Amino acid sequence: MSAVSAEMVKQLREQTGAGMMDCKAALQEANGSMETAVEILRKKGLKDIGKRAGKTAAEGTLGVYVHAGDQVVAVVELNCETDFVARGEDFRSVARDIAMHVAAMRPAYVNIEEVPSAVLEKEKEILMEQLNEAQRAKADKILPGKIEKFYEENVLMRQPYVKDDSGKKTVKDIVDELSMKVGEKVVIRRMQRYEVGEGIQKSQANFVDEVMSMTSGH
């Protein structure tokens, strides 16, 4: 078994947010491999999250993001089990970052369960119309992938996280990681996005004014 130094434990703790003893045990099990130790901690954390599924997450914070120019605002309610965790800077920072994600990516629903059956059926109907005759014969194999794409575009928890440069993490991954770090059940309860003028059809006069201002000086 490879020796595990205090510096390795410290590095793993900073990377994962896990406790020192858990980090040391994971490194020992991984024979000093940092990558394997991270995976061990992640698996353990996901098991712990499963055990907390029945817990009540009634505390939390409102993450608020206001885009430059005050034209777009997003609010996210992020819940946890205790007020102590809710007041932590890490928890509040993640809430703000998810609000920024909502502002940028415009999800319509938080979870798949929120998607109305009528909306899903309509989406399937549209997708079927887009398939040619040969594809329709294999619709049962084609549609699941297209529905998953619909979820990725419209469901917050399924969307690729906007601040993850690798493009591999979803918002659910970010919530799960936070849950593992704080040792409590963490959920996104609700969200709202506001944009100035959203849903209002601009008048022809306003449209002309905008065009004139854009072309002035050319």
Predicted confidence band at 207 (pLDDT cuts at 50, 70, 90)? very low
Same domain, 63 and 45: no
pLDDT-based confidence at 16, cuts 50/70/90?
A: low
Considering the chain, what is the average pLDDT of its residues? 84
- Please give the residue range of the domain that contains residue 77: 59-115+155-195
> Which CATH number characterizes residue 174's domain?
3.30.479.20
**Angstrom distance (rounded) from CA 157 to CA 192:** 14
Q: Is residue 127 part of a domain?
A: no
- With b meaning 16 or more CB within 10 Å and e meaning fewer, what string describes 54-83? eeebebbbebebeeeeeebbbbbbbbbbee
Backbone angles phi, psi at 51, to 5 degrees: -65, -25
Q: Does 136 reside within a domain?
A: no
pLDDT on residue 87: 92
Report, as an integer, the average pLDDT of 85-99: 94
Please report whether residue 216 resides in a domain: no
User: Is residue 155 within 8 Å of 107, Cβ to Cβ?
Assistant: yes
H or E stretch at 189: strand 187-195
Contact 156, 171 (CB under 8 A): yes
At 111, the amino acid letter reads N
Residue 77 is assigned to a structural domain of this protein: yes
Whether 10 and 108 share a structural domain? no
- For residue 211, what pLDDT is reported? 46
Structural domain contains residue 205: no
Does residue 40 belong to any structural domain of this protein? yes
Q: Is the pLDDT of residue 214 over 60?
A: no
Query: Helix, strand or coil for residue 186?
Result: coil
**Does 63 share its domain with 111?**
yes
The domain that holds 26 is classified in CATH as 1.10.8.10
Amino acid (one-letter) located at 179:
S
The DSSP result for 12-65, as a single string, is: HHHHH---HHHHHHHHHHTTT-HHHHHHHHHHHHHHHHHHTTTS---EEEEEEE
pLDDT of 84 over the 60 cut: yes
Burial 105-116 (b: 16+ CB within 10 A, else e): bebebbeeeebe
Token reading at 212: 């004139």
Question: Do 76 and 23 sit in the same domain of this protein?
Answer: no
Asked whether residue 33 falls in the same domain as residue 65, the answer is no
Kindly state whether residue 137 falls inside one of the protein's structural domains. no
Same domain, 104 and 66: yes
- Residue 108 and residue 173 share a domain: yes
Q: How would residue 198 be classed by pLDDT, with cut points 50, 70 and 90?
A: confident
Q: Calculate mean pLDDT across residues 122-127.
A: 92
Residue % of the chain over a pLDDT of 90: 42
How many structural domains comprise the chain? 2
What integer is the mean pLDDT of 146-169?
A: 92
| pLDDT in the model for residue 201 | 64
Domain match, 109 and 172 both: yes
Residue 143 maps to a domain: no
